Chains A and B, each alone.
Chain A
């Protein structure tokens, strides 16, 4: 029933415009601002559910109607295609396929939780905080829906502004350093992508992703473009060795900012590899797959070890995020190699794994950061040594935290297992050594996560501050319990998510098999 509504525009603009009444409520009336923000975020989430329902029904429709030939992107639904800038043929072209739908849902879902989380933990300039969050939400949805490369870029870069403000205003002691580093690093990455896109525009006269995926490119052109994309998305993921902004940004960001950063923003890097690098420059991607695979393995193994020695909980989880995102890039590029060697099934499994890993990591890392936020609000420290025996005073919190920790280790039955398992499965088909190295991470992951749990949650009550801790209130319980339900649901029943993404992934694998050399 929603199929003919401009749902995607609504998803983008509702939160962005919704930020205006939140700002008007003002910092002097924080409760009103919080309520309006929650209403906007919840409404956006409902719209995204409407999108999901419209999406399922629309598949048959669009094929029956003989939708315009979009090549690689023929699974795109709910399209809106308007001319934005006539002179450059830039289009306001939105659309979603299974991959985007999953990420959009993750975004809207997480944003509701983040608004609820900010209810108690943000005290100063509440209206501005909530408004920045909502603008950020709209822009992130835009990134996942844009089918025009320039439109994508505008959302991709525009996102930096609210995040810059979020970390800089509400962050911790070294927030200025962290937020400048975050901004400059990401800007550094993306501007080369812009030059690459402009070169592609010179070749094709369009920014349409579907057209860019079709255009033939020589090996040299592909190589240059590949590195332009690689810098942009590797910084965003982030991959070793350009990951150093992430621990700083995470440590200094307010809880809500950390959650958004970990749960959604990092996914944009992985999404970029799937939407840009693979379809547009498949041959160069294959040629340099070894490089990305090596970088991913370093992320998985070395950064895992780095996580082991951290003394700051947020930093530890940040490094663990990098290691987990290593699986995503590993899965994507191994699949490319598999697809070219004729193993289409294996390739599909690898990309599926990468995607599931992204969604799962969204839930798990979001939950971990939210948990640390819960502790931080009470103790105002993130240092592991200041904790110990939290289970004695906060049993409900401890139960959920242990669950998230297990998901972070990749315990079967939790969402963390599914994606990693599929990626390792694909990796073994590509090269047993790579598979073994990737599997090795499960041990390191378990080591740093369990050790964290041991030091923070279990044992004797470490000091009088811990002894005075109050268990979670209703709001915090709601957030963490919802995330826990999502983690378990995805772990026990990943099939619906897999089905959702089957069609676009199959199409992608079909596309990357064909060499583009011109």
Chain B
């Protein structure tokens, strides 16, 4: 039976669903010139949803344990909503320049957000799959938003086929787990996994589940789709799929691995460790050779996923908190990085080749400074935000037994620093080409928000204590 408390617990999600439907309808009646209404309303919807999330209406669980609202879910939802709001602000000028400024962009993004919110709150395998598919289907359509571009269509097709394959893997694994545990509820699975001695079937399922997770994260060796999709998608879409979904992916991994399969920790931890090291290696080394900034950032994502996995490897609350902190810092930084690309792109010109950034410090010193902050943060140089994420995950593995992972992480952090520095080098040390396109005067809200976003990387680097405290609290540390 659905009770009123169930609805109340799901109030943010319910509100978001209704709001999306309303927006979809409203958008039909708007003239193209009035499209900004959709834009601002979407941001308002995100803000209201965020406010509702923070109110903690209802009970900790709803629908018989299908939906869980714990600290982890709240933190992740808040940052998913915040990142998406940033994305909307950054995307608007770009979309307008390319006559992609359509209501569908906002509605699809919001549906993806809804999927992510359900995903991070999932208490059963069905809920995970539902949330994931809602996110994935919206993302496929978003990548194909610019349907006249062959590159976009190809990327969308590739994303769809490989994404469907991954979903299939995940579903297959889930069916195995269901077969072994006799339940879709993660708590029951947890109990069975801890108690059972016949683990063959469960382990078989775990392998497929881990593969599915790795696919969605884009961890090597399941990363093939990621660079093509990042590069092929319109940048306004890349900024979305490159930032917020990493938070959701973390939520999914946490729910499945810790919530459901904790008892099999020894098995999936080793798999994650190997995936982490491979991702660190492939992401960092392949990124060095890229000449396209979006593609470089795609490979950098792969390496960051490797770091994030390091936090999960030990299956300890501190490690989860570190990984969540890492996901948050990465989402905010990635949004800013793609924001800069969006800012410097204009009608008929995509600022996505690294060479386009030559001498940016002379053409647009402030943007160059912001970009430098972002790059140093991604590289993990103190006192920027990104360093402390790395610090926390390295701390999580710098214990006897997994020390080798900390050392591997350290080594690949050194490899990684080169390609981030190269961007700084291009911006500061090279002279601009004579035919360089001058930086356009960006619209004021975007400039302001992007500046705050990038400067926050410095400020949060100095005052990251409360944020980490929030993450730690969510996992019940102190």
Contact = CB atoms under 8 A, between A and B. Distances in A.
A160 B410 contact: no
B394 interface: yes
A518 to B, nearest CB: 14
B468 interface: yes
B429 A195 contact: no
B421 A164 contact: yes
A85 B392 CA distance: 12
Contacts of B382: 153-154, 157-158
A157 B413 CA distance: 14
Given A153-B382, A158-B381, A194-B391, A85 B465 contact: yes
Contacts of A1: none
Interface stretch (A176-184, A397-405, A444-452): A176-184
A169 B428 contact: yes
Interface stretch (B13-21, B177-185, B395-403, B435-443): B395-403
Contact of A161 (B381, B425, B472): B381
A188 interface: yes
A86 B469 contact: yes
A2 to B, nearest CB: 26
Given A157-B381, A169-B428, A191-B413, A86 B465 contact: yes
Contact of B376 (A86, A161, A176): A161
A68 interface: no
Contact of B468 (A87, A154, A161, A194): A87
Contact of A192 (B383, B410, B464): B410
A199 B468 CA distance: 20
B381 A194 contact: no
A179 B428 CA distance: 12
A320 B425 CA distance: 30
A144 B184 CA distance: 58
A191 B414 contact: yes
Nearest to A168: B429
B410 A154 contact: no
Interface in A45-81: none
B406 A195 contact: yes
B321 to A, nearest CB: 8
A250 interface: no
A158 B383 contact: yes
A201 B425 contact: no
A198 B421 contact: no
Contact of B387 (A88, A157, A168, A175): A157
Given A154-B383, A183-B417, A85 B428 contact: no
A218 to B, nearest CB: 11
Nearest to B478: A87
Interface residues of B, number: 30
Contacts, number: 84
Contacts of A202: 395, 398-399
A26 to B, nearest CB: 10
A109 to B, nearest CB: 26
A84 B382 CA distance: 15
Contact of A168 (B391, B428, B465): B428
A158 B410 CA distance: 17
Given A183-B417, A183-B421, A191 B381 contact: no
Contact of B429 (A153, A169, A199): A169
A17 interface: no
B418 interface: yes
B407 interface: yes
A85 B414 contact: no
B263 to A, nearest CB: 25
A176 B383 contact: no
A294 interface: no
A500 interface: no
Contacts of A344: none
Contact of A199 (B403, B417, B424, B425): B403
Given A183-B417, A187-B417, A198 B395 contact: yes
A195 B418 CA distance: 20
B394 A85 contact: no
Given A153-B382, A183-B417, A191-B413, A85 B395 contact: no
A87 B467 CA distance: 10
Contacts of A199: 398-399, 403, 406
A157 B391 CA distance: 13
Interface string B406-436: 1100100110011001001100110000000
Nearest to B376: A161
Contacts of B410: 191-192, 194-195
Contacts of B464: 85
Q: Which of A176, A180, A198, A202 has the most CB of B within 10 A?
A: A198
A165 interface: yes
Contacts of B477: 87
Interface in A352-379: none
B468 A180 contact: no
Nearest to B417: A187
Interface in B337-396: 376, 381-383, 387, 391, 394-395
Contacts of B478: 87
A176 B425 CA distance: 7
A476 to B, nearest CB: 28
A183 B424 CA distance: 12
A280 B410 CA distance: 22
B421 A195 contact: no
A89 B429 CA distance: 39
A194 B394 contact: yes
A201 B465 contact: no
A187 B394 contact: no
Contacts of A88: 395, 468
Nearest to B382: A154
Given A87-B469, A161-B381, A180 B398 contact: no
6 contacts: A169-B429, A176-B425, A184-B418, A191-B414, A198-B398, A199-B399
Task: Give the top 3 A-B pairs by smallest Cβ distance, nearest first.
Answer: A198-B398, A154-B382, A85-B465
Interface of B: 376, 381-383, 387, 391, 394-395, 398-399, 403, 406-407, 410, 413-414, 417-418, 421, 424-425, 428-429, 464-465, 468-469, 472, 477-478
